């Protein structure tokens, strides 16, 4: 196609300004710290508690989305029923809704006197201002990634493979376990990774529902904002650098999974 040099040049300039320059600025700023100072700021007790909650809650939220998001994607792709278009549109609602609004809504919904919280609190389940609230918010913002990643894959399944399995005498469950599931597994893992990546960097929806309690409900992005508010720029940079390393590692894993998934589509 014509215009390769122009489009390639635009792409490189755009990625440099939007991606490489901010990352480079963070790395250069971090190099201004000694290794000892950087290590102490990045691994103190409060930072480690924030990492643990961020990673644990993000993994749990991504796992929940991998299961229920896959079921939702299957229903939307394989069945036709009244209200399907509305349900399909609601899946994208977390994309359009500002995360701060989502956090405020969830906090009110799961508070002790909220519509759902008033029934959960007597059972000893505290939704708002708890670690469970963090998981709820991260599950909310990550759901579209699991559904939208898997839904097109389900729609493109080759029916001839299913028909061949039927001719060989395979029942529904055996067809699903031996034919359908292996084809969808790489894409499910990709959706899991995207949902996890989205949750790992989330801040807006957590700010209201978590309560931001140090060592309890404070996630790593919140800790960065707290340190910036206190003009502790070196402390904020150290935590941001750790999250950037996590993000690069996750990106590498996602690219590896994508390469593995592409092998299933080779003729």
pLDDT tens string 203-225? 888 888 888 888 889 999 999 98
- Please report, to the nearest 10 degrees, the dihedral formed by the alpha carbons of residues 143, 200, 246, 144 taken in order: 20
Question: pTM, whole model, 2 decimals?
Answer: 0.84
Distances (CA, A) of 136 to 11, 102, 112, 189, 255: 37, 11, 15, 20, 27
Signed CA dihedral, 228, 230, 234, 239: sign only: negative
Write down how long the chain is: 267
Q: Give dist(CA 236, CA 254) in Å, integer.
A: 27
* CA geometry: angle 186, 158, 184, nearest 5 deg: 15
- Provide the pLDDT for residue 139: 94
Q: State the pLDDT at residue 262.
A: 65
CA atoms of 245 and 233, how far apart (whole Å): 18
Residue 147 has pLDDT above 90, yes or no: yes
Q: What is the pLDDT of residue 143?
A: 92
Average pLDDT, the chain: 85
For every residue of 153-194, which 3-state class applies, written as one string? Answer: HHHCCCHHHHHHHHHCCCCHHHHHHHHHHHHHHHHHHHHHHH
Q: What is the pLDDT of residue 48?
A: 93
pLDDT at 58: 93
Q: What is the mean pLDDT of residues 104-129?
A: 88
Could you give the CA distance from residue 32 to residue 79 in angstroms, rounded to a whole number? 57
| Close Cβ partners of 75 (under 8 Å, ≥ 6 residues apart) | none
Instruction: Write down all domains in the chain, each with its CATH number in brackets.
Output: 52-219 (1.10.3720.10)
């Amino acid at each position: 196609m014509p215009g390769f040099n122009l489009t390639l040049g635009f792409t490189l300039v755009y990625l440099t300004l939007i991606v490489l320059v901010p990352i480079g600025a963070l790395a250069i700023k971090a190099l201004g710290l000694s290794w000892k100072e950087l290590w102490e700021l990045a691994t103190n007790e409060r930072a480690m508690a924030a990492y643990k909650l961020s990673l644990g809650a993000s993994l749990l939220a991504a796992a929940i989305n991998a299961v229920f998001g896959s079921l939702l994607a299957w229903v939307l792709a394989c069945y036709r029923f009244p209200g399907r278009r509305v349900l399909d549109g609601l899946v994208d609602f977390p994309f359009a809704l500002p995360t701060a609004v989502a956090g405020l809504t969830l906090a009110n919904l799961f508070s002790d006197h909220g519509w759902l919280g008033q029934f959960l609190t007597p059972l000893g389940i505290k939704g708002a201002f708890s670690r469970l609230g963090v998981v709820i918010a991260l599950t909310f913002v990550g759901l579209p990634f699991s559904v939208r990643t898997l839904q097109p894959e389900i729609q493109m399944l080759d029916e001839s493979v299913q028909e061949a399995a039927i001719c060989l005498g395979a029942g529904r469950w055996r067809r699903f376990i031996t034919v359908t599931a292996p084809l969808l597994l790489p894409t499910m893992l990709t959706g899991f990774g995207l949902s996890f990546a989205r949750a790992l960097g989330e801040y807006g929806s957590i700010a209201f529902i978590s309560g931001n309690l140090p060592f309890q409900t404070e996630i790593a992005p919140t800790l960065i904002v707290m340190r910036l508010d206190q003009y502790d720029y070196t402390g904020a940079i150290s935590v941001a650098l750790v999250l950037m390393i996590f993000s690069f590692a996750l990106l590498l894993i996602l690219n590896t999974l994508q390469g593995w998934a592409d092998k299933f589509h080779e003729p």
